[in-house]
Amino acid sequence: MLRPRVLLPTFSAASAHNGSASSSDGAASSSGKGHDNRNKRATRVVNIVLIIGLTALTLSLVVLHNAEDAASASHSDATTEASPVAPSAPLSSQTTGTEMFPNPLKDYRELPVTYPASDPSLDTASTYPELTPLSDLYSRWPQNSHLPSSTFREHLRLFDFQDPDQMAQARRLRDMELPFKVHNVPEIDTAGDKWKRRGYLSEMLDGSMGSGGVESARRSKRRKKRSHNTGPAASEGGVSYSVAMSESNFFTWFDGRAVDNYRRRMDPTYVKPTKPVSMSSSAYFERAIKKDLTETYDPDSEHLYMTLGVNGVNQRRDSKHTFIHHDLPSFITPPNNFFVFDFDHNKGVQCRFGERGVTAAAHYDNGRNMVAMVVGAKRYTLLPPKECDKLHVITEKDHPSRRHILLNFGDMDALPSDAKGALAVETIVKEGEVLYIPARWFHYITSLQFNAQCNSRSGRLDDESEVGETVRFFGGKSDIELCTTSD
């Protein structure tokens, strides 16, 4: 930080005094030696006073400048990037001076990957993407183990966001409702650089900058009964979050508002698959870091999963987590763009912070989904709508986890035979990459290391007339409706 430079002048009170005396017609020469001594003492006093005054002015300017720096760091807005406030000590001895999260023992961001041929003529629903039986995928790479090979073969295309020709191909696949990935996105890369800085996320979420202040905590208290989804809440130690806890690494989403009705009308013994625990975001991040730095892993131990939501333009504007508005504008702020191409039906951004091993049960969404991996890496297994009848989807209309599948791919032996044969494609979504999940494609997700992932949707796809080839090969709306209709 630059400091104000105040140069002490070479000018002295003696020279000023003598300058004025030089015009006095030589009167000083008649004053005598005593008078000269008094003048010298007076000059020294004046010099001392001047030096003290200038020193005080210098210190005042430095203090003022520091105060302005602090104010600019804590009052950032949507047009100015906030400088994170680093904690006094790193979270780990492996933490660098600019990163909050140390490199895990197994870092999938650095994993060598081979990609399919880049010939656009091959990007047709009859040839892309290549699908594999679910049992084959998980026998080669069991869910709760590290990848056994030193490289990973991708079956999804990866496009460079800065290359117009490649993005034309990506847009074509998006319009065909086929999955793919994009990288080299400045907005995502910049957000990732900031979210990895020591203390940035904790300051944004727990501190006064952007989101974690008292105001959002008070709003949260009024909305306590919404569901199991996480959000800020007031606590004596500051802002805490309701984080989902599972007794294993397997997490199934449920609508908390539907639980009482389902127990009353259908199953009084129904047990929520997760329960909330209250903790600060910094405590959650520290826990996740420790898991990344541990050799052993127990999938049957308690796991935590933290989720934050930011309302879209068609919902009430929510001022909490405003750093997400600033860091990921293309995912939440109009006009339409490549990632969110239908803001009229966008419902905002969901950001998820997963510790190693956290696995989200397979499910489908009706909306067209862009998933940005801001930090870390996840393994995604995608299954097209045509496989719906093999996946044992929850079809009860009033079930809290409707649209989800309670099959844990980590235990292939326990899966029904038809589910083992379901065709799927897997991908590792690394930091800086964005995955497109077409409408109604099932996705099963495992955190390979600590990660921060945000997604935003572009509304439903009800008219499939322009994606007839894709529907013919991979299924669509009618396949989902047929297999999810309750008897």
CA 166, 168, 169, 170 torsion-angle sign: positive
pLDDT-above-90 percentage for the chain: 61
CB 160 within 8 A of CB 433: no
Q: Say if strands 238-246 and 303-310 run parallel, antiparallel, or are unpaired.
A: antiparallel
Q: Is the pLDDT score of 70 beyond 50?
A: no
Q: Is the pLDDT score of 26 beyond 60?
A: no
Q: Name the pLDDT band for 206 (thresholds 50, 70, 90).
A: confident
Phi then psi for residue 243, to 5 deg, are -105, 135
CB 434 within 8 A of CB 181: yes
User: pLDDT at position 24, please?
Assistant: 36
Q: Is the pLDDT score of 319 beyond 60?
A: no
Q: Which of 61-65, 213-217, 396-400 has the lowest mean pLDDT?
A: 213-217
User: pLDDT at position 32, please?
Assistant: 45
Q: Across residues 55-69, what is the average pLDDT? A: 44
Q: Could you tell me which of 414, 366, 349 has the C-alpha nearest to residue 143?
A: 414
Q: Which residue has the higher pLDDT, 138 or 4?
A: 138
Q: Cα(367)–Cα(364) distance, rounded to whole angstroms?
A: 9
DSSP letter (8 states) at residue 124: S
CB 427 within 8 A of CB 87: no
User: pLDDT at position 236, please?
Assistant: 42
Q: Cα(218)–Cα(342) distance, rounded to whole angstroms?
A: 32
Q: Which residue has the higher pLDDT, 78 or 161?
A: 161
Q: Is the pLDDT score of 50 beyond 70?
A: no
User: pLDDT at position 55, please?
Assistant: 53
Give exposure, 74-106, as e/b (b: 16+ Cβ within 10 Å). eebeeeeebbbbbeeebbbeebeeebbbbbbeb
Q: Could you tell me which of 255, 297, 296, 249 has the C-alpha nearest to residue 272?
A: 255
Q: Cα(345)–Cα(333) distance, rounded to whole angstroms?
A: 12
Q: Across residues 142-160, what is the average pLDDT? A: 95
Model confidence pLDDT, tens digit, residues 234-276: 444 468 899 999 999 999 999 999 999 999 999 999 999 999 9
User: pLDDT at position 53, please?
Assistant: 57
46: number of Cβ within 10 Å:
15
Model confidence pLDDT, tens digit, residues 28-41: 343 444 445 555 55
Question: Which CA distances in Å does 95 have to 91, 339, 347, 430?
Answer: 7, 32, 36, 20
Q: Name the pLDDT band for 98 (thresholds 50, 70, 90).
A: low
User: Which of 27-36, 44-53, 201-210 is the most confident on average?
Assistant: 201-210
Q: Say if strands 158-160 and 180-183 run parallel, antiparallel, or are unpaired.
A: parallel
Burial of 268 (0-12, 13-18, 19+ CB in 10 A): exposed
Q: Which of 112-116, 133-137, 214-218, 451-455 has the lowest mean pLDDT?
A: 214-218
Q: Is the pLDDT score of 120 beyond 80?
A: no
HEC per residue, 293-360: CCCCCCCCCCEEEEEEEECCCCCCCCCCCHHHHHHCHHHCCCCCCCCCCCHHHCCCEEEEEECCCCEE
CA 109, 114, 116, 117 torsion-angle sign: positive
Q: Which residue has the higher pLDDT, 18 or 339?
A: 339
Phi then psi for residue 363, to 5 deg, are -165, 170
Model confidence pLDDT, tens digit, residues 449-459: 999 999 999 99
Q: Which residue has the higher pLDDT, 468 or 88?
A: 468
Mean pLDDT, all residues of the chain:
79
Q: Cα(199)–Cα(31) distance, rounded to whole angstroms?
A: 70
Q: Could you tell me which of 325, 318, 349 has the C-alpha nearest to residue 458?
A: 349
Tokens of 226: 């919404």
Model confidence pLDDT, tens digit, residues 367-394: 999 999 999 999 999 999 999 999 999 9
pLDDT-above-70 percentage for the chain: 70
Q: Cα(279)–Cα(277) distance, rounded to whole angstroms?
A: 7
Contacts of 272 (CB under 8 A, 6+ apart): 228, 254, 256, 259, 400
Q: Name the pLDDT band for 189 (thresholds 50, 70, 90).
A: very high
User: pLDDT at position 170, please?
Assistant: 96
Q: Is the pLDDT score of 208 beyond 80?
A: no
